[in-house]
Amino acid sequence: MPIKIELLKADPLLSFLVFGALIYVVLLMLVLIYHIFKGFFR
């Protein structure tokens, strides 16, 4: 579903949550990959 910009502009808390969550999704995926490789090469 495309992100509706006018909704994010109208609700700063929602936009903070969406972008914060996006950053964390990337970070947690990196952490997950790190742990998988850590176990793999041990």
Interface ranges with other proteins (CB under 8 A): 1, 3-4, 7, 10-11, 13-14, 16-18, 20-22, 24-25, 27-29, 31-32, 35-36, 38-39, 42
Shortest approach of other proteins to residue 40 CB, angstroms? Answer: 10
Shortest approach of other proteins to residue 22 CB, angstroms? Answer: 6
Q: Compute the distance between CA of residue 24 and CA of residue 39 in angstroms, rounded to an integer.
A: 22
Q: Compute the distance between CA of residue 28 and CA of residue 22 in angstroms, rounded to an integer.
A: 10
SS3 content of the chain, % helix, strand, coil (to 5): 85, 0, 15
Shortest approach of other proteins to residue 37 CB, angstroms? Answer: 10
